[in-house]
Amino acid sequence: MRNDQVASIYRKIQQQICTELETADGHAVFKTDHWENEIGYGYTMVLDQGDAIEKAAVNFSAVRGKVSERMRKALRIDEGEAYFATGISSIIHPRNPHAPITHMNVRYFQLSSGKAWFGGGIDLTPHYVNKQQARWFHQELKNLCDQYDADFYPNYKQWADTYFYLQHRKETRGVGGIFFDHQDGSSDAGFQKFYAFTQALAKAYPRIYTELLTLNRDKECTKEEKRWQDLRRGRYVEFNLLYDRGTKFGLESNGRTESIFLSMPPMASWTYDFQAEKGSPEEATLNLLKKDIDWIHIT
């Protein structure tokens, strides 16, 4: 069955991601928490207090149940009384404020009606935006997308700009990436295409992040830069609590609370009416937290 097929390969990729991130950090190892409950099972993998990675989480789950009315509205479900969902979701919070936060998820959702779809994405949230590194990140995503469909990168990049946006702040969460949802998993051709694409995306994730971590992990940083890191982490918390679909689905489906909130940073802060100093790196970053920036051609 497709459900078991997708869940099995996603679980294997989860383990591959953890192995690569352990190598990248060079010190800490992931702890495994295997859980089971009335709706399914999962493996919550957590790396804590590493040499370069302060906190990383790589979640895998496979769950099923009845579609509640709140879930139907939240996920735009118009048919089917029961669902199956499986996926991988991951975040990385680095120690050094010059290294970026990153997030990745891939997921497969199937309804009892037979309708099914894939979703997912990857995005980058630098505390300090480095244009050259943002350009490289987006080029890597475009190269991957183009292997499957030339329309993927432009469409999914725009979707990410819209999705990873803090409406109440009028700023993007970071430099974006790609985001997609409700992509055809019902037809044979659609299933094979997005099944392969989501695997490739998940496998590319640790390689891409390792490159950025290596470039930034040993840079000198000041107390002021660490305080800025905590402020930017606060924005990350705001997005996850107010807008993140994975958080909403987890709570609506009676998911495991500890796993749902693993995306939160180990430390975050809020300063009333913070104003960046004119001409500062902080102001430069805030000025780049906007939709529709062509990162591949930015100068």
Residues acting as catalytic residues: 103
CA dihedral 211, 166, 121, 133 (to 10 degrees): -20
**What are the tokens at 292?**
């529709």
The helix/strand/coil state of 287 is: helix
- Which candidate, 18, 158, 137, 152, places its Cα nearest to that of 88? 18
How many CB atoms lie under 10 A from the CB of residue 31? 10
**What are the tokens at 223?**
């107390």
Q: Which residues pair with 85 in a beta bridge?
A: 63, 109
Q: Which residues pair with 26 in a beta bridge?
A: none
What's the length of the chain?
299
The helix/strand/coil state of 66 is: strand
Max Cα-Cα span within the chain: 58
**What are the tokens at 212?**
């950025």
Cα–Cα distance measured from residue 8 to residue 200, given in angstroms and rounded to the nearest whole number: 15
